Each structure stands twice: as C-alpha cells, then as structure tokens.
Amino acid sequence: MADIIQLLPDHVANQIAAGEVVQRPASVVKELLENAIDAEADSIKLIIKDAGKTLVQVIDNGKGMSNTDARLSFERHATSKIRSADDLFQLHTKGFRGEALASIAAIAHVELKTKQEANDVGNAIVIEGSNVASQNVVVTPKGTSISVKNLFFNIPARRNFLKSDTVELRHVIDEFHRVALAHPNISFAFYNNGSETFNLPVSNFRQRIVNIFGTKTNEKLVPVEEDTEVLKISGFVGKPEFAKKTRGEQYFFVNDRFIKSAYLNHAIASAFEGLLKNGTHASYFLNLAVDPQTIDINIHPTKTEIKFDDEHTLYALLRSAVKHSLGQFNIAPVLDFERDPSLDTPYSYNKNSSNTPNIEVDKSFNPFKDESKIKGGGTSFKKESVSNWESLYVGLESKGTKNQHDFSEVHFESEAKTISMFSNDKEAEHTHTTYQLHNKYIVSTIKSGMLVIDQHRAHQRILYEDFLKNMTTKEGISQQLLFPLELHFSTQEITVINQLKDDLEHTGFVFSNVKESSVEITGVPVGVPESEVSIILEQLISDVENEVPDSNFSATDLLAKSMAKSLAIKTGQSLQKEEQEHMVNKLFACKAPNVSPTNRTTFITMSVDELDKKFI
C-alpha cells in the first residue's frame, strides 16, 4: 500500500499556524505592539484603516534589527527570547513563540522598515503571502515600522468571517487599551482612518487609566496595595456605586501581561459581595507581580490565559486585599458597635486645640425672691398662689350661650355617586379579566380558554414598535429636563454616540452639547426616568459594539431593540389591573405580537380541552 502521509509545504503550514495566532485585525495589533515593547521603545504609534482590514501599522523608536535579524524574524519558530525549554519559565518579554510575524506574513502583504542606532541606513523587506518580494537598503529613522495590508487577501473564507468595521474596531481598541494600560511608562498614539483617537503621554498608572477612560474615572477609583512573598498587588478597583452592567472595565495584568481569569474574577466579585446591585459588575485595574517560575504562560496561542501553581493562595490574597481597601476607604460598612461615625473629628480639625468655654454666673440671682415661704422644722416649702385661678378660664363662653358649638350640625363631605354604564354583573366580570401570576406573567381569559403573557417580553415588543415608528417618522416626543444632565464617557463611547445621535434625537433625546469626554442632555423621551438615561446609553453603546451584523442590519433597528430592552418593565414588578389590561391591548395591536424583538415567545394559549385533559 502506498504511503499517504506527507509533509505540508511551508506556506500551507504557515497559513494553518496563522489560524491560531491571527483571528482578526486585533490579533495583529496585539502581536505588533508587543514586539515594539520588547524592542525597548518608549514611543509607539498605531495606525489603523478600515478597522485594520486594509492597514495595521505600528511605528516604534526601539533598538531596531540588523539585516539578518530582519529577514529571520519572518521564519517560523525564530525568536531571540528563548534558547532552551527552561527559558519558558523565566519569561520577562512578550513575544517568545516565534510564530507571530511568520503567521501574519502568510495571510497579508507585509512591509518592514528597521534600523539600528549604530547604522547609517536601514533595511526594508516586502513579503506577500510568505513570499519575499524584495529586500533593499533604505533611509529610515531609528526603530522599526511594520505595515500589514490587506489582511486575509489569500484566504477569502477567513475574511468573510470578519464582522462589521464597528465590531472589529472595538476589538482593536480593546487590545490597544490592554497594552497601553500595562505600560504607562511608554507613550502611545492611536490613529484611526487619519484622525487621532488616543494620545497617551508617559504617566503613572492612575493617570493612564484616566487618559483612556475619561476624566470622570478619577473619582471612581479606590487604590489597592498589598505586598507579600507570594504576590504583589497594586492598582485600583471601582467604587460600587459606579458599577456597570457590562464587564468592559475589568483588567488583570500579571507581570505586565494582560490575562483573563474567571477564577480571579470571582475573587473580586466575592470581595464586592453585598455592595453591588443585581446584574452589575465592578471595575478593576489590577497589576499582579509573581515569580515567573510559578506561572505557565505558554498554554494558549494568544497568551491571555495563564496557569498558576497555587491559585487558591492568590484567590485568598486578592479577595482580602480588595476587601481591605474597600473598608479602609469607607466604601464597605464597618462592624463596630462602640464607634459612632457622627462623632468623628473632621480632618481639618485634627490638629486644632479645643477652646475652654467661659462660664459667667449671676451671684445675685434668687429664684425664690418673690415667693412667700412657710418655714417649719428647718425646711422651707413653696406656697402655691391660688388668687388668680379665674384667669385660667378667660376667653371661654359660659354654658348655654348662643355661640356654643353644636356638633349635631357638623356635615361630612362624601364622594359623589356616579351612575355606572354597566350592570353589577358586567362590572364584576370586567374587573377580573386579567390576573398577574408571580409578578411575571399576565393571565387573561379568551373564548377558547386561557392566555398567558410574559410581561417583560411583551413590553419589549410594544416599546420596540413604538420606538421604530418614532424613528422612521421622526416624530419622537421629548420631555424637557429642569436641569441639563451631563454624562461622562470614554473617547470610543462618544464616537458611538455621535454615530447614533440623529436616531436618538428622533426617539426624543435632546443633546445640547457633545464634547470629547461628556454629553449634555436637556430632553429625554416621554416615560424615560432621568435616573435611567445613563444606563440606557451604556447598554446601547455595548449593544452597538457587540452586535453581529447580518444582511438586514440596521442601526435604527438595533437602537430600537436596545432601548426597548432597557426600558421594558422587569420580571417581579407588580402591575395594577388597568396596567395589565393596557398591556394586553397594546400587545395585540402590534404587528408581530407573538414574539419579542429578539424572536422569543411573548405569550402562550391553553384551550379548555387542554385544561380538561390535565384533570383526567
């Protein structure tokens, strides 16, 4: 029988390896930024076009590469970081697998320019689908510039799996945030389609967080510090009152490398137990420093997951450190039966000395001077004066006068009786057409039997069609706020709001001013409480950034769905009879009453025959 196993060609092997390393443009951004950091750069620029599909370029001022190194960097398993397997447990750098550039070059057009400080000229290499097109001497500044163009140009199937530019750009920005937060000692600049999105100067960790997520973030942060032999923790957690419904602002950095860990995330959630509202998640930006020998980074192609030797100890230390910080800064309640917080000395009076009050006594004062006294047995008694007892009754009329109050003539106001349009039987039948079951379902009778409606999904359908109609006809009704409402967002969130501003105004929102990090709202749609506005916009931004577009994708449709989801009455909310009946009537006036905006069933029916069978 003939041999059937054969070695794959290099270009095919590289494309297969690229599937592990490069999943989307954000993967390229991560690898190139980490290479720039390993090159000891202190200034890095990231340039993006069309969410990275057309161009991803990273420019750094690092130490650069020689001609030979520049060529070898595109070979598989070529790296300067490790020499033996033992080096995998002494890693202090980012890129050590030696597959990133080879994988990227296999599925894109790559152009590399690099120069070392000691050399007069640099080197330029152009690679197209693993094939070296040219390698020339070039004049270029110190450092490295690498451009990745036309990602997945030779694998159309992979390119078709990419999401919309909005979704892919969000992933790119997420990767940029992760690298920039881990290295506040490096200046970063981010340009998207020719416009500057971020310009982050060298700063401390707190200032880097504020520069990325907006100035309002500063007041939300609580510092966390803990130094033990096993683990060193530094960073910040967000105050409970600023917790969000999304998990966007949650960052763990182990030895300056971003990681994801559900186990450690649970430690944070446990520390916040009892302080967060249901459905909200705390923000945290925590740096964990551990011995490299106690962790294994090389268990996942993207290196975002790490295996710890002793996870239980890390869990306990992390939970205790966060809990201690929340208590230390009076965020968490303190159990102390002796201490009265109202008696605490304000900080401004801590070092002030107390002033002794002056007491003046009138020695000539005698409270018994004008009263007669009876002396007997050496004891004096006060004699009550009864000569003016008639004055106690001055102003009262004598009994029997004509002005005496006659309570028999008091009349009580009663409600006017109205004639009902229905007989008693009809009225009783009308008031019992709907019932609410467990504050979740509305039960109503129909001719054939019984109708059960999910109140949350039904209200979503009603609001969805109302919002869609208002945005389509541009007739949204707005209620003006007494005072303008100012909300703070990050740069990327402001970009999303600007994209949806026109549609939001058609629903009833009125924006008086949109700045770089905040928006000012003077009007909201009718029925939207002011306290819910920030929650609605945060949920909307999250939905837009995470939405998977299809052939019928529409920003208007997405906006209507998101607002309906945020404003619909929740499970557990009690409804009056009139509200129940109004919801039933409004639901069946909708164009598609049987499903919610997310295509989930809104009601079920049960006939009398089906009920009868239950009793057989």
- Rounded Cα–Cα distance for residues 334 and 346 (Å): 18
Crossing angle of helices 491-507 and 455-473, in 10° steps, is 80
Q: How many CA within 13 A on the CB side of residue 128?
A: 5
pLDDT 10s digits, 159-169: 888 888 888 88
| 435-605 belongs to CATH 3.30.1370.100 | yes
Question: Is residue 69's pLDDT more than 80?
Answer: yes
Strands 307-308 and 603-607: unpaired
Tokens 């004049």 locate to 139
Nearest to 250 by CA among 281, 225, 274: 281
Q: What integer best gives the mean pLDDT of the chain?
A: 80
pLDDT 10s digits, 304-320: 777 777 888 889 999 99
In this prediction, residue 3 carries a pLDDT of 76
Stretch 550-567: mean pLDDT, rounded?
69
Do 75 and 100 contact (CB within 8 A), yes or no?
A: no
- Rounded Cα–Cα distance for residues 186 and 202 (Å): 5
Do 176 and 29 contact (CB within 8 A), yes or no?
A: yes
pLDDT 10s digits, 344-394: 666 666 667 777 778 888 888 887 776 555 555 555 555 555 556 666 666
Report CA 559 to chain centroid distance, whole Å: 18
Question: Is residue 533's pLDDT more than 80?
Answer: yes
Stretch 478-502: mean pLDDT, rounded?
84
What torsion, rounded to 10 degrees, do the Cα atoms 504, 505, 508, 509 define?
80
- Rounded Cα–Cα distance for residues 113 and 129 (Å): 18
Stretch 71-76: mean pLDDT, rounded?
81
Give me the count of residues in the chain. 616
**Which residues contact residue 256 at a Cβ distance below 8 angstroms, ignoring those fewer than 6 apart?**
182, 183, 287
In this prediction, residue 392 carries a pLDDT of 62
Q: How many other C-beta atoms can be found within 10 angstroms of the C-beta atom of residue 271?
A: 23
Do 112 and 149 contact (CB within 8 A), yes or no?
A: no
- Locate CATH 3.30.1370.100 in the chain: 435-605
In this prediction, residue 391 carries a pLDDT of 64
**Helix (H) or strand (E) segment spanning residue 430:** helix 424-430
State residue 144 phi and psi, 5-degree precision.
-135, 140
Least confident of 283-297, 326-340, 374-388, 595-609: 374-388
Instruction: Report domain 213-328's class.
Output: alpha beta
Stretch 92-111: mean pLDDT, rounded?
76
Stretch 31-52: mean pLDDT, rounded?
91
- Rounded Cα–Cα distance for residues 17 and 100 (Å): 9
Least confident of 61-75, 410-424, 506-520, 557-571: 410-424
Strand order in the sheet with 603-607: 434-437, 441-446, 449-454, 603-607
Question: Is residue 425's pLDDT more than 70?
Answer: no
Least confident of 223-232, 361-370, 485-494, 606-615: 361-370
State residue 279 phi and psi, 5-degree precision.
85, 5
Model confidence band, residue 277 (pLDDT cutoffs 50, 70, 90): confident
State residue 356 phi and psi, 5-degree precision.
-75, 125
Question: Is residue 85's pLDDT more than 60?
Answer: no
Indicate the residue type of 536. I
Question: Is residue 96's pLDDT more than 60?
Answer: no
Do 327 and 334 contact (CB within 8 A), yes or no?
A: yes
Strands 284-289 and 257-259: unpaired
Instruction: Give the residue, 449 or 18, on which the prediction is more confident.
Output: 449
In this prediction, residue 429 carries a pLDDT of 46
Residue 144 DSSP symbol: E
pLDDT 10s digits, 164-184: 888 888 899 999 999 999 999
Least confident of 68-82, 274-288, 527-541: 68-82
Range 603-614 burial, b when 16+ CB lie within 10 A, else e: beeeeeeeeeee
State residue 591 phi and psi, 5-degree precision.
-75, -35
In this prediction, residue 565 carries a pLDDT of 84
Tokens 């164009």 locate to 591
Model confidence band, residue 263 (pLDDT cutoffs 50, 70, 90): confident
Report CA 351 to chain centroid distance, whole Å: 42
Q: Which CATH architecture has domain 10-200?
A: 2-Layer Sandwich (3.30)
**Which residues contact residue 272 at a Cβ distance below 8 angstroms, ignoring those fewer than 6 apart?**
240, 243, 282, 322, 326
Report CA 325 to chain centroid distance, whole Å: 21
Strand positions, DSSP E, 129-186:
131-138, 143-149
Please, what is the Cα angle at 441 between 438 and 443, to 5 degrees? 110
Do 181 and 251 contact (CB within 8 A), yes or no?
A: yes
Question: Is residue 397's pLDDT more than 60?
Answer: no
